[in-house]
Structure 1
Amino acid sequence: MKLSKAEFEALIEASQRTFVSFCQLVLSVDYQARSSGSGPRLSIPELAASIKECGVLQNLIVVQAARHTYEVCAGGRRLEALTALVAAGELPENFPVPVLIVAVDRGLLVSLAENAFHLPMHPADEFEAFAKLVARGKPVEDVAAAFGVTPMVVKRRMKLAAVSPRLMAQFREGSINLECLMVLASVEDHERQEQAWAGLDSWNRHSDHLRRILTQGEVDSDRSPVARYVTVKAYEKAGGPTRRDLLSDSDRKVYLLDAALLDQLAVGKLQGTANKIAAEGWKWVDVRPRYVHDEYVRHGELRKSSREPSEQEAAALHALNVQLEENKQRLNALYAQDGSDEETEAECARLEALREELSGQVAALEEVLAIWPPELMAEAGCIVYVGNDAKPAVRYGLIRPDDRSNVLQANRGGVFGGAASRSGLAAVPEPKTRPVHSEKLVRNLTAHRVAAIQAELLDRSDVALAVLTAQMAKSLLLDDYRQAYGCEDPLKLTVTDTHHSLRADALDIEASKAWQILNAKRSYWQSILPPQAADMLPWVLTQEPDSVRQLFTFLVAITVTGVYATEPAQQRTDGLAQALRLDMTHWWQASGPSYFQHVSKARATEVVSEATGAPAGTAMQALKKEAAVARAAQAVAGTGWLPTVLRLRPPADVPDADVALGPDDDPPLDVGESDGDTETAGN
């Protein structure tokens, strides 16, 4: 028989309400709908604390049994909490418990209905109730005691209750899960909470990603070596603001909000170490909160020399080497034996351990003999910084670009008493001249070159097929050595479209003719291709061969790559450019925005002289930069001048070919090996 909610409420209304002693209550076996132990066990201590503080707020439903006892049909968890309180002596055995007595034949039915119709409290209601209790003056400790939880639990629930009302409403609706709500609650600013949540993509609403957004610009005291070195205590003593995350697994979790102050304190604390290093005789000592490789990428680096050992050191080193040789011979003899037993294996293990010990002693002695040449130290320096272990670290022997010549001269001069042959320079390149073009400009120019090659390739399916075949043959048929020391690949055979990367490297490329042609082709193919991936092959199989050829050519074209950060001696697209007879004057012209605004006046003067054949000289140099840019652009207009990186290079070491790849007068495609000595950076 099914009992409706209305019938259930009528039955309850008609039943007798009274109080019975705790000692008269027993848990029913026949009338309990919920299995014993199926309730949430961790909530019993909390329920017991609540009953102790507030009494039994909801009556138990019972049926009358023999010998003045009552079987509990509904309210088993309350009975269990009461049992715990009586056992602990918190309540007497005759404690009056409110009950509702129902007929025996309705006991199981009422138990089932009571559990079915009961709606648990939403977590948000619990958070807000805790916050209201504290707001009304009840101490956190008292609230914690009343519900059998720790004060930290109460503080965390209050923190959750303080989340933006808009976000709390979404939590109630199920749009935000509890993990994300806890991350949002870690910051107090409602606007910041709402902006962080609104900025998440619907597919990426994960607590870890949300935490990274909310803590951006803050320093995690647990993870940052600099924070661990400075210590939170010292940072706060200096007035540094912090944010503590009560909802983290660690109660001591702290985020430091002033990264600049933290770095300043780290540098100050490192100064003592830096002073000791400077006293050793180095030319300079930089103090940094952390070592950043990019700041010192152009620095050279010394390596230590070996001084002559004293008689005692030489004797010790000789004795160690003799022992190592004896150890080696003994091990080899044991390894050469046909069989082995436990005794032999034990002896091998002992000798191997001894070898490790002797090698360590040799390394320690060699470290004592290794020193920095004083004459070279006078031209080099060190960086003192916080290492990953949160302790002071030192990077020794760096050479500033301006000091390279002095270091090279000192090293060639045989400094350090004839030991110069053993005092090496780990990496001290000759001083470099300033490049003609900046990295940004080289990327821009080579991006335009790539786009032009792509546009030219659209009408040359023969070249598209040839370059794809050549690159696949190189990758699949040549051995690794010839691949490694051959030319770079012009295509991205991982089927990567270079559309977006070209736009990132050349912000003005969208106005170019090549880009507009490529975009028009892209739009055309996107308009006629089937929208579903599964339909692509059947569609291609039904097309005319000429249409498939055109699509294939376009797809090969948009994979062409070759953007560089510095001007290379050879470009990966040189072979393609030769095959296409690329003339960049059809695709790019030198103007103020495209070139002259990005180079010096001296360079602009050189370009004008080169393009016009007449010296620009003093007249150009006397102009201000804006006027010089306009004058240079006007002078070069119509001359067809191109920077070297855009010019068609003559084929190098291309063998005579009997078969042309295009029309009869087309040159063969250059797929030969290069010197492999170019400095490049792909896009």
Structure 2
Amino acid sequence: MKLSKAEFEAVIQASQRTFLPFSQLVLSVDYQARTPGTSPKLSIPELAASIKECGVLQNLIVVPGQSNTYEVCAGGRRLEALTTLVAAGDLPENFPVPVLIVPADRGLIASLAENAFHLPMHAADEYEAFAKLVARGKPVEDVAAAFGVTPMVVKRRMKLAAVSPRLMTQFREGSINLECLMVLASVEDHERQEQAWMGLDSWNRHPEHLRRILTQGEVESDRSPVAKYVTVKAYEKAGGPTRRDLFSDNDKKVYLLDAALLDQLAVAKLQRKAKKIAAEGWKWVDVRPRYVHDEYVRHGELRKASREPSKEEATVLQTLNEQLEQHSQRMNEIYDLDEPDEDSEAECTRLEAQCEELSAQVTALEEALAVWPSELMAEAGCLVYVGNDAEPAVRYGLIRPDDRASVLQASRGGAGAGRESPALASIPAPKTRPVHSEKLVRNLTAHRVAAIQAELLDRSDVALAVLTAQMAKSLLLEDYRQAYGCEDPLKLSVTDTHYGLRTDAQDIESGKAWQTLDAKRSHWQSILPTQAADVLPWVLSQEPDTVRQLFTFLVAITVTGVYATEPAQQRTDGLAQALGLDMAKWWEATGPSYFQHVSKARATEVIGEATGAAAGAAMQALKKEGAVAHAAQAVAGTGWLPTVLRLRPPTEVPGTDIAANADEDPPFDVGGEDEQARADAATSGTAPAGAASEPKDSELPAEAS
């Protein structure tokens, strides 16, 4: 409905402007154009704070009601804010409220006019207004109190107002979204902001990608082990420049801008550890802020020698070994049972714990018997650096290339000094029962693959990067994979992994990730040509954004990575890290999805890990079905994930030789005709034709490599 100018002026002329006590105002039901209860509630505290500071700046529109009351037909949020202030005692019940009294037959028209003609302020105007208030001398705390927000909100809005005017114009036009604007505002240099934004393709302007560009060369205090070791306090005390991101959820996060100074401080702090290591008798000790594989790739490395155990040590070792063997035999008997009862499972759990304790004792004794040969220590050295745990780490027994001959000579002079103890030669290795069955691991990793595929749908930058990297490994790295000619324009084959996932996880169709992917599949199948010959002409005729979305979907559905046993490292780890995969969004531990497939002892362990509360007695008293329900209820909403579904943290992975990585499984089912040949070669232990082998130094002693 659109009012004419004459109708609107008639409403105004027939109305009376005055003040009415708050106690005479009630919210109208019949004369409101906006449905009661549909207004946003989050801004009521802010509006109340503004009214307390500045008063009611815009009159309410009312119509006469019954019993000396007036019904508010426009201004419901202002009335609610006033009600909040009166209830809190900040305003009296007879507080005078400015109103415009209109006839009852014009109330609905007036309400519609106010709501229809009202234009909300653009967010950019709000940011700039906050900045102007502070610039004119009003304290941040006073501005925050006047609008019912925290001082941090005011500071963030001021920061947004300080973004490059050129970029702020694009924000007003809708070319830059708020998430990207916050990333841009995290740095103060307008030139850097504009270069970062303009340097990205329009389809690749994601907040995380933008943040990586703007923070190049900076060290994140909460992620860098070196920064954690040195501490921000020590770095700033040394005069190191920093930058804090007001928009970060972590208020302790700091960006360190002088990486060279940080490394110097780390080396200086490591010197105390280095002096202790040097006092042990090593020829040299290097100190570095971090371990870089390439710097020591040509170094050899000593092995410890085993000294003879004393009579007492040998007796203890023999006893421990006998106990381990007895426990392992009993555990193997339980594992071989078709359907072990609860008592057997409890016994097995107890024996496993005892085996772990016994093995720890054996390991401690082995370490006590393993020593560095003193004659070789005098020719070798150590590297002291900051480890991934932000603590000093040491690599012992490094042999410089120039010292290999002297190490060989020293080892020949001390031959026979250290002999391996017969008691350490063999420790029985009992069968180890995996935490999760093969079927459950396949189910969990299938859900993980589906979740990665779903996450990838909105990240064309990651899809392009990972596929490009995989093709580069296949086609450009020497001795990795040979390409053969074919009739197709690309030497590439792809496989849709969805049907395999459905086999590995029979409940996957009820998962969020599968449903997301299935909807996308239906969409593309509905618009693609039905004839294969028509697909390429159709793709060439589409807008670049459509092609990008199709490409991303196709890359996503080729992701693979289902396992039968829990691996230490999964082929999709790098991809999951790039996507920031949070499996708690896609999978939850319930009775059917997890607890029905694990033992009661495992369920008890999970409850303790997820909630921090012991549940042993409660679980032991329950039957299997009750224990499953209890565990599912206890863990619900905690976001707990089994290790195989958790996101591995990024670590400093040293560079490796290409030949060592040649047989690693890629995260995508992409390959060529030579894939089977490579697999056969790997299985038989023979290298593919042309593979390089590194020459070995046959003259090094057994203690050196």
Is 1:491 paired with 2:484?
yes
Q: Is the 8 A contact 2:22 2:93 kept in 1?
A: yes
Counterpart Cα distance in 2 of 1:374 and 1:677: 42
Summarize the alignment of residues 374-393 of structure 1 with structure 2, pairs less than 5 Å apart.
374-393=374-393
Q: Which residue number corresponds to residue 399 of structure 2?
A: 399
Contact 1:487/1:676, CA 8 A, preserved across alignment: no
Q: TM-score, normalising length from structure 1?
A: 0.62
Q: Which residue does 2:83 correspond to in 1?
A: 83
Partner of 1:268: 268
Residue in structure 2 matched with residue 120 of structure 1 by the alignment: 120
- Tell me if the contact between 1:31 and 1:111 (Cα under 8 Å) persists in the aligned partners: yes
- Amino acid across the alignment from 1:295: E
Give the letter for the 1:213 counterpart: I
Does residue 679 (structure 1) correspond to residue 692 (structure 2)? The answer is yes
Instruction: Report if the CA contact (8 A) 1:487-1:674 is conserved.
Output: no
Match of 1:67 in 2: 67
Change in CA separation of 1:27 and 1:675 when aligned onto 2, cut-off 3 Å:
closer
Aligned to 2:590: none
Offset at 1:76?
A: 0.4
In the TM superposition, what is the alpha-carbon distance from 1:418 to its structure 2 partner?
4.9
User: Which residue of structure 2 lines up, in the alignment, with residue 201 of structure 1?
Assistant: 201
Q: Distance in 1 between matches of 2:209 and 2:10?
A: 52
Whether the 8 Å contact between 1:44 and 1:80 is mirrored in structure 2 is yes
Aligned residues: 453
Shift of 1:680: 7.6
How far apart are 1:284 and its partner, in Å? Answer: 1.1
Structure 2 CA distance for aligned equivalents of residues 488 and 250 of structure 1: 44
Deviations 1:135-171 (A, max 9, x none): 1111111111100111111111111111111111111
Shift of the alpha carbon at 1:9?
5.1
Q: Give the 3-state SS of the residue equivalent to 1:390 in structure 2.
A: coil
SS at match of 2:356: helix
State the match for 1:623 in structure 2.
none
Contact conserved, 2:383 with 2:396, CA < 8 A, in 1?
yes
Distance in 1 (alpha carbons) for counterparts of 2:139 and 2:71:
39
The CA deviation at 1:34 is 1.7
Q: In the alignment, which residue of structure 2 is the partner of 1:53?
A: 53
CA contact (8 A) 2:308 2:420 kept: no
Structure 1 unpaired stretches of 5+: 423-485, 499-530, 538-672
Output aligned runs, 1:158-177, within 5 Å: 158-177=158-177
CA contact (8 A) 1:61 1:73 kept: yes
SS of match in other structure, 1:389: coil
Letter matched to residue 156 of structure 1: R
**Structure-2 separation of matches of 1:40 and 1:299:** 67
Structure 1 counterpart of 2:484, one-letter code: L
Change (3 A) 1:88 1:386: same
Contact persistence 2:31–2:108 (CA under 8 A): yes
Displacement of 1:675 in angstroms is 8.4
How far apart in 2 are the matches of 1:32 and 1:350?
71
TM-score (norm 2): 0.60
For 1:92 and 1:492, the matched residues in 2 are separated by: 87
Equivalent position of 2:293 in the other structure = 293
Give the letter for the 1:85 counterpart: L
Which residue number corresponds to residue 536 of structure 2? 534
Q: SS in structure 1 opposite 2:388?
A: coil
CA contact (8 A) 1:287 1:385 kept: yes
Preserved contact between residue 244 and residue 255 of structure 1 (Cα < 8 Å): yes
Q: CA deviation at 1:113?
A: 2.4
User: What's the offset of the Cα at 1:7?
Assistant: 3.6
Matched letter for residue 280 of structure 2 = E
**Which residue of the partner structure matches residue 254 of structure 1?**
254
Aligned residues of 1:5 and 1:117 also touching (Cα < 8 A): no
The residue type paired with residue 267 of structure 1 is: V
SS of the residue aligned with 1:42?
coil
Mapped contact 1:375–1:416 kept (Cα < 8 A): no
Q: CA distance change for structure 1 residues 227 and 24 in 2, over 3 Å: closer, same or farther? A: same
**1: CA distance, partners of 2:154 / 2:167:** 20
Partner in structure 1 of residue 628 of structure 2: none
SS across alignment from 2:43: helix
Cα distance change on mapping 1:248 and 1:674 into 2, 3 Å: closer
CA distance in 2, matches of 1:395, 1:303: 11
Displacement after TM superposition at 1:346 (Å): 2.4
Structure 2 match to 1:42: 42
Residue 222 of structure 1 and its aligned partner are, at CA, apart by 1.1
Contact 1:379–1:403 (CA under 8 A) maintained in structure 2: yes
CA distance in 2, matches of 1:50, 1:334: 72
| 2:352 equivalent in structure 1 | 352
Superposed displacement of residue 82, structure 1: 0.1
Contact 1:270/1:384 (CA < 8 Å) preserved in 2? Answer: yes
Q: Give matches, 1:5-16, under 5 Å.
A: 7-8=7-8, 11-16=11-16
Distance 1:98 1:214, change over 3 A: same
Between the aligned partners of 1:181 and 1:487, the Cα distance in structure 2 is 43
Q: Distance in 1 between matches of 2:480 and 2:133?
A: 75
| 1:345/1:30 CA distance change after superposition, 3 Å | same
Structure number with greater Rg is 1
Report if aligned partners of 1:386, 1:393 keep a CA contact under 8 Å in 2.
Answer: yes
1:516-571 CA-partner distances (Å, limit 9, x unpaired) = xxxxxxxxxxxxxxx9962499xxxxxxxxxxxxxxxxxxxxxxxxxxxxxxxxxx
Q: Secondary structure at the match of 1:383?
A: strand
**Could you tell me how far apart the structure 1 residues matched to 2:247 and 2:480 are?**
56
The residue type equivalent to 1:679 in the other structure is A
How many Å apart are 1:53 and its aligned residue? Answer: 0.3
Contact 2:375 2:414 in 1 (8 A): no
Give the whole-Å Cα distance in 2 for the aligned partners of 1:394 and 1:412.
27
Compute the displacement of 1:280 (Å). Answer: 1.0
Change in Cα spacing, 1:154 to 1:370, as seen in structure 2 (3 Å) is same
Contact kept in structure 2, 1:187 and 1:193, CA below 8 Å: yes
User: How far, CA to CA, are the matches of 2:421 and 2:485 in structure 1?
Assistant: 47
What do residues 466-497 of structure 1 show as CA deviations (whole Å, max 9, x unaligned)? xxxxxxxxxxxxxxxxxxxx996352779658
Q: Give the CA deviation at 1:327.
A: 1.8
Contact 2:63/2:103 (8 A) holds in 1:
yes
Distance 1:115-1:680 versus aligned 2 partners, 3 A rule:
farther
Name the SS for the 1:163 alignment partner: coil
Identity of aligned residues (%): 77
Query: Secondary structure of the residue that 1:240 maps to in structure 2?
Result: coil
Q: Is the 8 A contact 1:382 1:397 kept in 2?
A: yes
1:121 alignment partner AA: M
Between the aligned partners of 1:257 and 1:351, the Cα distance in structure 2 is 53
Distance 1:390 1:338, change over 3 A: closer
Letter in 1 for 2:59: N
For 2:508, the equivalent position in structure 1 comes to none
For the 8 Å contact 2:48–2:85, the answer to whether it is kept is: yes
Counterpart of 1:16, as a letter, is Q
Counterparts of 1:142 and 1:400 in 2: how far apart (Å)? 65
Q: Secondary structure at the match of 1:320?
A: helix
For residues 372 and 24 of structure 1, what CA distance do their matches in structure 2 show? 91
Residue 8 and residue 290 in structure 1: after superposition, are their counterparts in 2 closer, same or farther (change >3 A)?
A: farther
* Paired amino acid for 2:48: A
**In 2, Cα distance between the equivalents of 1:418 and 1:532?**
75
- Tell me which residue corresponds to 1:245: 245
Partner residue, 2:184: 184
Question: What are the superposed Cα offsets for residues 238-279 of structure 1, whole Å, 9 maximum, x if unpaired?
Answer: 001111111211222211111000000000001101111111
Asked if 2 retains the 8 angstrom alpha-carbon contact of 1:373 and 1:416, the reply is: no
Distance of 1:225 and 1:11 partners within structure 2: 69
Distance 1:77 1:492, change over 3 A: farther
Hey, what's the Cα distance between the residues in 1 that align with 2:86 and 2:140? 26
Cα distance change of structure 1 residues 53 and 303 upon mapping to structure 2, 3 Å threshold: same
Structure 2 contact 220–254 (Cα < 8 Å) conserved: yes
> Quick one: structure 1 residues 192 and 10, their matched pair in 2 at CA, closer, same or farther if it must change by over 3 Å?
farther
SS in 1 for 2:19: strand
Cα distance, 1:4–1:366 mapped onto 2, change above 3 Å: farther
* Greater CA drift, 487-496 or 203-212: 487-496
